């Protein structure tokens, strides 16, 4: 009983110090934290670091060891101590505003500090580094107190498109008569961990299917709008010569089907999208894809092909908000997306699907921008594009040795490069603030090191152990 009383008194002193003058409060909190170390009910240790191109907290010890921004779970009423170790040398702190807990700043590698507080209310709360820009850079995690730990997160279907699903190359075959079936659906899909969005899709995925034909092919397009849709949908192929690219004759009400036939006259890589008013909303909600019209004789052979499209989501809720996110017309018209995505959601090309290649292989990426508004500066960090087929032009000589290529909304490009060094390469839009809104993808390259091309001279960091 006496020990519990001492614990309560010391914890109260720590929390009370937070309301004093900042410098004095930090001084008192630092020493009080040391005093209460032996009476905390739950103790965690976090280390600051850089992982996956973001600033993060890394768990140390136990089940949290090595995890980025681990979720901390504690009983309601527990006295909680969180130790913070500086692992990257930048200035950081640890703040949980809901409990009035804020550490002093640590600004040297190996420096440490602590916060101590009583978790006296049940729910889900954020722990952050409060320095300007550090939350946006990735330094945010969850503290779950009490029964909130068992609350189920909202789930949606997986709408992201597998980048490896690129169809079969046409090779040297002659012109054929082909059929393309597109089903338009409105589904609640997973946006990111703990949040969902009502996507509008072609064939249940974002982007829609990668359609692969040959110049001279005759193509029958059948578009069927699901009976449970709330909207009319259509399709406009940029590869089609005809009214609206097909949109003028495919405005299909829920439960109805429309179709048309076209001849593929122009080789190239083209975008298709829904073109029902308001068109920008239909596109933003996920209704875009690409059609490849291969030239006579097909494309040169490569080892790996990937299908990647960039899009924007305009939600009423701020980026990172849990639960169902809803469309915002105001943000769409202001061209201010909360989310920017490759292949439908935040984790499509970082967690859900794994793009892989081996050292010495050639990689081809079919890249397009669904948009509807923002131009992409497509770049692969750590690689140079050996060939860029600018604006999807497959008949002109490609550009060579290109670092970053511009792709307009509703536009496409094809890039090729040989991978010569193992490692993880990051696909980005080089308007790099967009990474903080979810725009990133990984290409994993395996194989033997190639020191003639790249080698490191750095030594392991003794302070951080890596």
Q: What is the CATH number of the domain that holds 313?
A: 2.60.40.420
**Contacts by 429-436 with C-beta closer than 8 Å and gap 24+?**
429/310, 429/340, 429/376, 429/377, 429/378, 429/379, 430/377, 430/378, 430/379, 430/404, 431/374, 431/376, 431/377, 434/340, 435/53, 436/136, 436/137, 436/138, 436/319
Looking at 105, 121, 150, which one is the last position of a domain?
150
In this prediction, residue 356 carries a pLDDT of 98
Residues in the chain: 466
Domain assignment of residue 426, given as a range: 153-466
Asked if 294 and 343 sit in the same domain, the reply is yes
Asked if 104 and 204 sit in the same domain, the reply is no
What is the count of structural domains for the chain?
2
Looking at 150, 172, 200, which one is the last position of a domain?
150
Asked if 346 and 460 sit in the same domain, the reply is yes
Asked if 101 and 190 sit in the same domain, the reply is no
In this prediction, residue 274 carries a pLDDT of 98
Q: Tell me how far apart the terminal alpha carbons of the chain are, to the nearest angstrom.
A: 44
Query: pTM above the 0.85 mark?
Result: no
CA distance 250 to 256: 10
Asked if 227 and 298 sit in the same domain, the reply is yes
Asked if 313 and 342 sit in the same domain, the reply is yes
> pLDDT by residue for the chain (466 residues), tens digit each?
444 433 333 344 334 333 333 333 344 444 444 444 457 899 999 999 988 778 899 999 988 999 999 999 999 999 999 999 999 999 999 999 999 999 999 998 999 999 999 999 999 999 999 998 898 788 999 999 997 544 455 679 999 999 999 999 999 999 999 999 999 999 999 999 889 999 999 999 999 999 999 999 999 999 999 999 999 999 999 999 999 999 999 999 999 999 999 999 999 999 999 999 999 999 999 999 999 999 999 999 999 999 999 999 999 999 888 899 999 999 999 999 999 999 999 999 999 999 999 999 999 999 999 999 999 999 999 999 999 999 999 999 999 999 999 999 999 999 999 999 999 999 999 999 999 899 999 999 999 999 999 998 866 554 444 4
In this prediction, residue 361 carries a pLDDT of 98
């Amino acid at each position: 009983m006496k020990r519990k009383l001492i614990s309560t008194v010391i914890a109260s002193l720590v929390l009370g110090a937070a309301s004093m003058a900042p410098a004095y409060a930090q001084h008192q909190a630092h020493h009080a934290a040391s005093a209460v170390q032996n009476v905390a009910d739950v103790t965690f240790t976090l280390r600051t670091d850089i992982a996956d191109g973001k600033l993060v907290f890394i768990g140390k010890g136990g089940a949290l060891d090595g995890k980025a921004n681990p979720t901390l779970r504690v009983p309601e009423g527990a006295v909680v101590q969180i130790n913070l170790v500086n692992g990257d040398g930048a200035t950081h702190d640890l703040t949980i505003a809901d409990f009035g807990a804020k550490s002093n700043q640590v600004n040297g590698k190996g420096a440490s500090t602590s916060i101590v507080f009583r978790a006296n209310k049940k729910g889900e709360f954020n722990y952050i580094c409060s320095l300007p820009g550090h939350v946006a850079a990735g330094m945010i995690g969850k503290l779950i107190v009490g029964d909130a730990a068992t609350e189920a997160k909202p789930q949606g279907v997986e709408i992201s498109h597998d980048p490896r699903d690129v169809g079969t190359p046409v090779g040297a075959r002659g012109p054929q008569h082909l059929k393309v079936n597109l089903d338009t659906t409105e589904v609640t899909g997973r946006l990111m961990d703990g949040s969902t969005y009502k996507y509008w899709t072609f064939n249940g995925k974002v982007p829609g299917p990668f359609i692969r034909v040959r110049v001279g092919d005759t193509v029958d397009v059948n578009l069927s709008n699901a009976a449970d849709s709330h909207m009319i949908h259509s399709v406009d192929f940029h590869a089609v010569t005809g009214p609206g690219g097909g949109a003028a004759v495919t405005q299909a009400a829920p439960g109805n089907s429309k179709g048309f036939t076209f001849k593929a006259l122009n080789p190239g890589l083209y975008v298709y999208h829904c073109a029902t008013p308001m068109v920008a909303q239909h596109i933003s909600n996920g209704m875009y894809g690409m059609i490849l019209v291969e030239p006579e004789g097909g494309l040169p052979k490569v080892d790996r092909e990937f299908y990647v499209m960039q899009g924007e989501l305009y939600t009423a809720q701020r980026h990172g908000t849990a639960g169902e996110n809803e469309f915002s017309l105001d943000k769409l018209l202001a061209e201010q997306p909360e989310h920017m995505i490759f292949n439908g959601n935040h984790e499509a090309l970082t967690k859900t699907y794994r793009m892989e290649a081996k050292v010495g292989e050639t990689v081809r990426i079919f890249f397009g921008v669904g948009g509807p508004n923002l131009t992409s500066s497509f770049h692969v960090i750590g690689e140079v594009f050996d060939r860029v087929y600018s604006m999807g032009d497959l008949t002109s000589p490609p550009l060579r040795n290109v670092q970053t290529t511009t792709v307009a909304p509703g536009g496409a490009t094809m890039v090729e490069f040989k991978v010569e060094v193992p490692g993880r390469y990051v696909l980005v839009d080089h308007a790099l603030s967009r990474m903080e809104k979810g725009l990133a993808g990984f290409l994993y390259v395996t194989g033997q090191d190639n020191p003639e091309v790249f080698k490191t001279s750095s030594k392991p960091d003794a302070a951080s152990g890596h």
